[in-house]
């Protein structure tokens, strides 16, 4: 059974970094977008609180990405 975030299709972080080769991004996607930490995603929390998506460079941890 595969878990997947209900916001994945409209998540700008996933759209931008979903196919990246960067191991850190792959790890975040595996844990937060399709894994056991979905309920801890700061992007999801921001979206529900503010009614809009955060910056595409905001990671699921809430920090800005710097590649």
Nearest to 56 by CA among 14, 24, 13: 13
Q: What is the structure's pLDDT at 2?
A: 61
Q: What digits encode the pLDDT tens for the residues 6-65?
A: 999 999 999 999 998 889 889 999 999 999 999 999 999 999 999 999 999 999 999 998
Q: What is the structure's pLDDT at 61?
A: 95
Q: How far separated are the first and last CA of the chain, in Å rounded?
A: 32
Using the predicted structure, report yes or no on whether residue 67 has a pLDDT greater than 90: no
Token digits of residue 31: 């844990």
């Amino acid at each position: 059974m595969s878990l997947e975030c209900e916001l994945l299709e409209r998540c700008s972080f996933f759209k931008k970094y979903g196919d990246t080769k960067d191991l850190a991004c792959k790890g975040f996607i595996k844990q937060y977008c399709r894994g056991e930490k979905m309920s801890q995603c700061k992007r999801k929390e921001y979206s529900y609180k503010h009614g809009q998506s955060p910056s595409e460079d905001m990671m699921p941890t809430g920090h800005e990405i710097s590649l």
